[in-house]
């Protein structure tokens, strides 16, 4: 899990994914992965198999939700905009890192005696404090348009969880990396995309550079934050119940053949799994499904508590089971594709 934690700690809001891309390259290069990059910055890592053919596509996005500095105020504080969906209720008094130097700051929060009875502050009314008391000194450290993210040091708990930011979707990047490190009979193409959180942008251009017979989008997804008993509404997923298979979300219907294959593989290998219990949100599956004449595709996710937040929590066993489910699924598809390609 060391590499997963490194990925989590890395700075990479939408449009500024280069640090994540560089980390993935360094990690995967010694394992015989061949790289291409799309002009928007998506990283494509192909692990060549013994038998040539389009093979299997695995997609995860490198970007995380974050902030853009929109104004340096007279009092030295910074106004900002969010990049991707962030609930403004989560923001006051959270640590952030800004720009290339990863300058640390804190999103300001009025003290409790002044706050009492006030509504939730909107993003446009929030400021980041970097210790500067006037515009001039702040402007030396920060420029307009600088990116920022939450500043969170990932760490393991004693009971099987990891805390950290950006599990959506660094955990997908981690799982795909682990798969690319292994040797396969067919080509495995990992697509590490940019700008997913601002409208599924990176995948659209990256797809023009790759081929695949089947595809999996590997995601971190919403999970409920307390035990589900007694709930009348859906918790989406439950941490500890294993990888979540998405039958349908707002934009795509998971390929029914791949859904069956994953169910079968899970049962054969006693891998726990769950179905995502909401039909909301959209993933890269949408573009994988409708690329050219169509690629059978489905989304598999790791449940994340407190997604799009300063600290999220995932269970290591969910990550391991997601990896196992995908690896067993790929092994089975590999047999089918070997026949299709007529390889030895």
Partner 1 sequence: MALDIKLLEKLTSAFGPSGREVAVADLVSQELKTMKLKTKRDVHGSTRVTLGNSGKKIILAAHLDEIGLISTYIDKDGFIKASPVGFVYKEGLFGNRVQFENGTWGVISSEKTHPKPEIEMHKFFIDIGAKDRKEAEKLLPIGTFGVFARDLVKAANGRVISKALDDRIGVYVLLKVIKELASVDLKDTVNFVFTVQEEFSGLGAATSAFGIAPHIAIAVDVTDSDDTRENKYLNMRLDSGPAIKIMDASLISHPKLKEHFISIAKKNKIPYQLEVLPYGGTDAGTMSLVKKGIPSIGISIPTRYIHTPSEMISSTDVENTIKLLVAAVKGKIGGAL
Candidate ranges 47-55, 185-193, 271-279, 331-339; the one touching partner 1 (CB under 8 A) = 271-279
Terminal CA-CA length for the chain = 36
The verdict on whether 196 is a catalytic residue reads: yes
Please tell me whether residue 289 binds partner 1 under the rule CB under 8 A.
yes
Please tell me whether residue 259 binds partner 1 under the rule CB under 8 A.
yes
Choosing from 196, 219, 284, 328, the catalytic residue is 196
Please tell me whether residue 225 binds partner 1 under the rule CB under 8 A.
no
Please tell me whether residue 233 binds partner 1 under the rule CB under 8 A.
yes
Q: Which is nearer to partner 1, 289 or 304 (CB)?
A: 289
Quick one: angle between helices 2-9 and 167-181, nearest 10? 140
Q: Which is nearer to partner 1, 79 or 221 (CB)?
A: 221
How far from 139 is each of 65, 133, 179, 289, CA to CA, in Å?
24, 11, 44, 46
Out of 47, 163, 201, 276, the only residue in the binding site for partner 1 (CB under 8 A) is 276
Q: Which is nearer to partner 1, 121 or 262 (CB)?
A: 262
Token pair in block for residue 76: 């030295």
Please tell me whether residue 229 binds partner 1 under the rule CB under 8 A.
yes
Burial (0-12, 13-18, 19+ Cβ within 10 Å), 186: buried
Please tell me whether residue 199 binds partner 1 under the rule CB under 8 A.
no
Out of 90, 106, 108, 277, the only residue in the binding site for partner 1 (CB under 8 A) is 277
Q: How far is the CB of 223 from partner 1 (least distance, A)?
A: 14
Candidate ranges 142-150, 159-167, 228-236, 323-331; the one touching partner 1 (CB under 8 A) = 228-236
Q: Which residues contact 165 (CB under 8 A, 6 or more apart)?
A: 8, 9, 64, 149, 150, 152, 154, 309, 310, 311, 312
Radius of gyration of the chain, Cα coordinates, nearest whole angstrom:
21
Token pair in block for residue 26: 């360094």
Out of 101, 136, 225, 256, the only residue in the binding site for partner 1 (CB under 8 A) is 256
Out of 81, 124, 260, 290, the only residue in the binding site for partner 1 (CB under 8 A) is 290
Token pair in block for residue 273: 């799994």
Q: How far is the CB of 217 from partner 1 (least distance, A)?
A: 15
**Overall residue count recorded for the chain in this entry:** 344
Tell me the three state secondary structure of residue 163. Answer: strand
Under a CB-based contact definition with an 8 Å cutoff, are residues 285 and 250 in contact? no
Catalytic residues, by residue number, are: 196
Site for partner 1, rule CB under 8 A: 229-234, 245-248, 251-253, 255-256, 259, 274-280, 286, 289-290, 292-296
């Amino acid at each position: 899990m060391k590499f997963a934690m490194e990925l989590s700690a890395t700075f990479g809001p939408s449009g500024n994914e280069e640090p994540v891309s560089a980390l993935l390259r360094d990690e995967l290069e010694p394992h015989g992965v061949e790289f291409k990059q799309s002009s928007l910055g998506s990283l494509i890592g192909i692990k060549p198999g013994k038998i040539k053919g389009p093979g299997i596509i695995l997609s995860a996005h490198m970007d995380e939700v974050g902030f853009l500095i929109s104004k340096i105020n007279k009092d030295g504080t910074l106004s900002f905009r969010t990049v991707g969906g962030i609930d403004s209720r989560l923001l006051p008094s959270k640590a952030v890192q800004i720009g290339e130097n990863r300058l640390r700051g804190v999103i300001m929060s009025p003290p409790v005696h002044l706050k009492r009875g006030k509504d939730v502050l909107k993003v446009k009314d929030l400021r980041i404090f970097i210790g500067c008391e006037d515009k001039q000194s702040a402007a030396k450290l920060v420029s307009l348009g600088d990116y920022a993210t939450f500043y969170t040091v990932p760490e393991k708990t004693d009971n099987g969880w990891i805390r950290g930011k950006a599990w959506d979707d660094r955990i997908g990047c981690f799982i795909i990396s682990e798969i690319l490190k292994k040797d396969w009979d067919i080509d495995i193409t990992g697509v590490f995309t940019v700008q997913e959180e601002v409208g599924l942008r990176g995948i659209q251009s990256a797809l023009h550079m790759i081929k695949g017979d089947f595809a999996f989008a590997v995601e971190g997804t919403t999970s409920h934050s307390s035990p589900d008993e007694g709930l009348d509404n859906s918790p989406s997923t439950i941490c500890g119940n294993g990888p979540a298979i998405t039958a349908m979300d707002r934009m795509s219907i998971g390929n029914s053949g791949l859904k069956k294959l994953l169910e079968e593989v899970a049962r054969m290998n006693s891998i726990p799994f769950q179905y995502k219990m909401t039909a909301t949100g959209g993933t890269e599956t949408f573009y994988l499904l409708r690329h050219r004449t169509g690629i059978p595709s489905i989304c598999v996710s790791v449940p994340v508590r407190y997604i799009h937040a300063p600290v999220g929590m995932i269970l290591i066993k969910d990550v391991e089971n997601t990896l196992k489910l995908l690896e067993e699924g790929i092994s089975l598809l590999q047999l089918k594709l070997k026949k299709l390609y007529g390889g030895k």
